[in-house]
Structure 1
Amino acid sequence: MAHKNFCGLDFGTSNSTVACRFGDQIELVPVEGESRTLPSAIFFEFSDGSACFGRAAIRRYVEGAEGRLMRSLKSILGGSLMEETTRIKSRVYSFKDIIGLVLGRLKAEAERAAGAEIERVVLGRPVHFVDDNPAADRSARDALEEIARAQGFREIDFQYEPIAAALAYERTVNEEQYALIADIGGGTSDFSVVRVSPEGRRREDRSADVLANKGVHIGGTDIDRLLSLRKVMPLLGSRSERRGDFGHKILPVPNAFFVDLSTWHRINFLYKPEVGRELQSLLRDSLSPELIERLIGVIENKRGHSIALAVEAAKIELSARDRAAVDLAEIEPGLSAPVTPGDLRDAIADRLGQLSACLGATLESAGLSAERIDVVFLTGGSTAVPAVREAVTALTPRARIVEGDLFGAVGLGLGLDAQRKFG
């Protein structure tokens, strides 16, 4: 039997995949039923303390089961929450423990598919876990390695996610090309310029073919947050006003509640008792009490993730239609927030500028003009957002656009890299 005890594992902000070797081929393995992607979500059942993952986790939350949904956990790596704990009913978990449960589930599914214990792994990583902070970036990488080792991986290596995507794309080429790889997922936007070729597939050392790597902490969850802040949070009282102390001043309502409610990995922090007390105080001073009452209802009924899911669904719908609505009927019958592609573009205008700047810096670092780029390879779910796609492709108008497997190209490439390193 060929060695199967290695894999490539893409632990993504929104979705995760694993690739293993079967015979002479590297393939993505089923990780949830027949699906080869696992939404990076976990739901803890309050009734018995058990956990479920992926689509099942989201389904249990939507069904109204008593429990706690957690998603976008990769965003915690490198941040202040990494060393903190959270109580789920009577048990206290560190966030490393929770990420470990997701990685452990992926490892178990890979071993089930491969029919062998897997001890060696190439993990994907963004170019920067944390922007402009090398110490925090190193801390995030070390934390992910520690978590993987605790799940039973003995040999661990890393590969930049856009380089992994380049390896997946290279399997399809029949001539040398300069490829700009754009991997824009749930948490980060990463770019690489790579020389790909049929001959390159056979070379073990590819360092000379990697001309540039750049990245910025912008992804699908940022798009969701900004769209929510612009179109949904005003329905819950953001941008409204309150009376100041002693009623002498009119002040804006604090924005922190709405930022947390729009940010996947911070929603659960709003369910603490002290937040409820703060909101009751805010209600007494509010000049729009009906909106703050609506906000309080969302928090008391723990429906923050319902809003986040509805915003995400509307964003996805806008990729194919010229209008959509954020369905908030679960919050209040008939309540919705209409959105258009223009609304989305306006909400993320600053981020689009940052993407363009990062792309320009990538080309400059590679020492290539835009005209030298033969192909732009798109992967990551956020490249399906038209405004994002336009920002990515505008700098290289002569390049051919190739859309890879939006959710699987990185995982497949990590498997190819694992074969090169461990196979």
Structure 2
Amino acid sequence: MTHSIAGFDFGTSNCAIGIAPQQQVQLLNFPEHGTYMPSTLFAPQSEMICGWLYQQLNAQGKAEAYRQARNQQLASSLRALKELKLDGYDEHLSFGKQALKEYLVDPADCYYVRSPKSFLGASGISQRQQQQFEDIAAAMMWHLAEQVRQSGQAELEKVVIGRPVNFQGLNSELSNQQALNILSNAAKFAGFKQTEFLYEPMAAGLSYQQQLEQEQRVLVIDIGGGTSDVSMLIMGPNYLATREHQDLVLGYNGERIGGNDFDIALNFETLMPALGSRLELEGGQPMPIKPFWDAAAINDFPAQTRFYGADTRNLLQRLLKQAQLSPLKGLLQLHKERQTYQLSAAAEQAKIALSSASSSQVDLSYLLDELQVRVELSAYQQACERLLNNIAMLSDEVIRQAQAQPDVIFLTGGSANSPLIRDFLSQRYQAPLVSGDNFGSVTGGLALWAEHIFA
């Protein structure tokens, strides 16, 4: 059976699409990715993304709105595509795991984006950068919609897209509006005829609600790849269909703290020292910390721009004249080969390993010969203390807004599997902790809400 109404989880770590005819949730299977597509994009050059997307849309007769919006840069992007082909390069985009594979072939000579959702609310981006984020999001949306079509489903027309409570940690409505504008424009370019948004923790709560037999106050803590969102919701059997949605919300809060930030904390506190972050300069002065933080902060667009800039390269080359700072050669190599995403992936694997072991070995020999770093669980726990306390502050504020304690805590999101996070929340709050499908709860709730408002 085909269905043109869907929930679209454009996630920081993964993307997924779900449908819910007759309130029965089904996550769709993408031929090239399975149920979830990692939120990554690879292009041989950034300049060709606009032209590539136009070609795909034009082949389906959907390009007019996009052509009008990109009239100025479209001709040059199409030329870039043509030149790539003449030079013997592939002129296609890749997504998901395939994007990572192609990036790792030559990180210094390509354009690779991981977790583009993390950048959508960034402050200080230019109009051209905002358009580039629209192109990236639209390309990913078009690709997944095409995957759905190839799998035999109907062409998606009406979608509900999940959004965090706050895209940035500054609680800035300007940042939120910027991010929503980018996603709205991208959805329009990708060919969706109608798009609505729903807070992700509320979507997760809707999935949990399906199993309830009586009313409960549920504290939904959704810890995703890029954000942590918390809501206190009144839930009960069939409340989705019989109660006004806004009346079920007793409080909500959110901040840009997610699984990526735990990776960054591990990276900065346990891996960067091997590249010189804690060394002293001549005269006993501390090492400038900014290059190390910028390198680790892969979810911060301005930080990554600074790290790969000439000022950082010149600083590292100047510091390397001091003999005792030779480990900085690894950081300079990271800069030269544009491998911050590769280092972040290594930190993520160490984090996963530490969920079931007391230590993990990280291979950094691609930065410095024979460099291996052992990461201890205790060091990781210490590195994450501030993040855990911030999540607790979000939850405490929502409980204060609701003026009531929760009957149950529903923990979901890709980072909800972490024993570190679960143990912390279990010790802090008295309510029982339950989990659903950590990766699929939001998608399922978005699908249920799409069916409710569009069908």
TM-score (norm 1): 0.88
After superposition, the Cα gap between the structure-2 partners of 1:24 and 1:72, relative to the gap in structure 1 and judged at 3 Å, is: closer
Q: Secondary structure at the match of 1:173?
A: coil
Paired residue for 2:411? 378
Paired residue for 2:7? 8
Paired residue for 2:56? none
> Could you tell me which amino acid in structure 2 is paired with residue 291 of structure 1?
P
Q: Supply the distance in 2 between the matched residues of 1:198 and 1:188 (Cα, whole angstroms).
A: 28
After superposition, the Cα gap between the structure-2 partners of 1:395 and 1:250, relative to the gap in structure 1 and judged at 3 Å, is: closer
Paired residue for 1:50? 92
**Deviation, structure 1 residue 137:** 1.9
Question: Contact conserved, 1:10 with 1:124, CA < 8 A, in 2?
Answer: yes
Question: Contact conserved, 2:120 with 2:133, CA < 8 A, in 1?
Answer: no
Q: Secondary structure at the match of 2:320?
A: helix
Q: Secondary structure at the match of 1:354?
A: helix
In the alignment, is residue 419 of structure 1 matched against residue 418 of structure 2? Answer: no
> Could you tell me which amino acid in structure 1 is paired with residue 290 of structure 2?
A
Paired residue for 2:435? 403
Question: Contact conserved, 1:237 with 1:288, CA < 8 A, in 2?
Answer: no
Question: Contact conserved, 2:297 with 2:304, CA < 8 A, in 1?
Answer: no
Paired residue for 1:169? 208
In the alignment, is residue 59 of structure 1 matched against residue 91 of structure 2? Answer: no
Paired residue for 2:380? 344
1:76 to 112, 116, 119: 119
Paired residue for 1:194? 233
After superposition, the Cα gap between the structure-2 partners of 1:23 and 1:177, relative to the gap in structure 1 and judged at 3 Å, is: closer
**Deviation, structure 1 residue 341:** 2.4
Which shifted more, 295-304 or 268-277?
A: 268-277
1:291 to 327, 330, 334: 327
Q: Percent identity?
A: 31
> Could you tell me which amino acid in structure 1 is paired with residue 418 of structure 2?
V
Paired residue for 1:94? 132
Q: Supply the distance in 2 between the matched residues of 1:81 and 1:409 (Cα, whole angstroms).
A: 33
1:327-372 per-position Cα deviation (integer Å, ceiling 9, x unaligned): 2233345322222222111112112111111111111111212xxx
Paired residue for 1:89? none
1:148-170 per-position Cα deviation (integer Å, ceiling 9, x unaligned): 22212221111000000011111
2:148 to 84, 97, 110: 110
The 5 A counterparts of 1:114-193 are 115-130=153-168, 131-193=170-232
Q: Supply the distance in 1 between the matched residues of 2:246 and 2:122 (Cα, whole angstroms).
A: 30
Paired residue for 1:255? 289
Q: Supply the distance in 2 between the matched residues of 1:81 and 1:26 (Cα, whole angstroms).
A: 39
1:282-322 per-position Cα deviation (integer Å, ceiling 9, x unaligned): 322x3533211122222223322221111000001111222
Paired residue for 1:38? 37
Structure (1 or 2) with the greater helix fraction: 2
Which shifted more, 96-105 or 267-276?
A: 267-276
Q: Supply the distance in 2 between the matched residues of 1:349 and 1:181 (Cα, whole angstroms).
A: 21
Q: Supply the distance in 1 between the matched residues of 2:127 and 2:141 (Cα, whole angstroms).
A: 19
**Deviation, structure 1 residue 275:** 4.0
1:83-135 per-position Cα deviation (integer Å, ceiling 9, x unaligned): 3657xxxxx97222122212222222233346322221111011111232222
Indicate the RMSD between aligned Cα atoms, in angstroms: 2.4
Aligned residues: 407
Structure 2, unpaired ranges of 5+: 46-88
> Could you tell me which amino acid in structure 2 is paired with residue 262 of structure 1?
A
1:221 to 242, 257, 260: 260
Q: Supply the distance in 1 between the matched residues of 2:31 and 2:341 (Cα, whole angstroms).
A: 21
**Deviation, structure 1 residue 63:** 4.4
TM-score (norm 2): 0.83
Question: Contact conserved, 2:9 with 2:446, CA < 8 A, in 1?
Answer: yes
Q: Supply the distance in 2 between the matched residues of 1:85 and 1:330 (Cα, whole angstroms).
A: 34
Paired residue for 2:351? 315
1:390 to 423, 426, 432: 423
Q: Secondary structure at the match of 2:250?
A: strand
Q: Supply the distance in 2 between the matched residues of 1:24 and 1:132 (Cα, whole angstroms).
A: 34
Q: Supply the distance in 1 between the matched residues of 2:29 and 2:404 (Cα, whole angstroms).
A: 39
After superposition, the Cα gap between the structure-2 partners of 1:237 and 1:360, relative to the gap in structure 1 and judged at 3 Å, is: same
Which shifted more, 333-342 or 50-59?
A: 333-342
After superposition, the Cα gap between the structure-2 partners of 1:149 and 1:108, relative to the gap in structure 1 and judged at 3 Å, is: same
Question: Contact conserved, 1:185 with 1:220, CA < 8 A, in 2?
Answer: yes
**Deviation, structure 1 residue 394:** 3.2
Question: Contact conserved, 1:22 with 1:114, CA < 8 A, in 2?
Answer: no
1:31-86 per-position Cα deviation (integer Å, ceiling 9, x unaligned): 35362111101112363232111111122233447533210211111113643657
Q: Supply the distance in 2 between the matched residues of 1:239 and 1:85 (Cα, whole angstroms).
A: 38
Which shifted more, 339-348 or 202-211?
A: 202-211
Question: Contact conserved, 1:165 with 1:183, CA < 8 A, in 2?
Answer: yes
Q: Supply the distance in 2 between the matched residues of 1:213 and 1:153 (Cα, whole angstroms).
A: 29
Paired residue for 1:364? 400
> Could you tell me which amino acid in structure 1 is paired with residue 171 of structure 2?
D
Q: Secondary structure at the match of 1:407?
A: coil
Structure 1, unpaired ranges of 5+: 87-91, 244-248
> Could you tell me which amino acid in structure 2 is paired with residue 67 of structure 1?
C
Paired residue for 1:302? 338
Structure (1 or 2) with the greater strand fraction: 1
Q: Supply the distance in 2 between the matched residues of 1:8 and 1:189 (Cα, whole angstroms).
A: 20
Q: Secondary structure at the match of 2:424?
A: helix
Question: Contact conserved, 1:83 with 1:95, CA < 8 A, in 2?
Answer: no
Paired residue for 2:66? none
Q: Supply the distance in 1 between the matched residues of 2:33 and 2:411 (Cα, whole angstroms).
A: 25
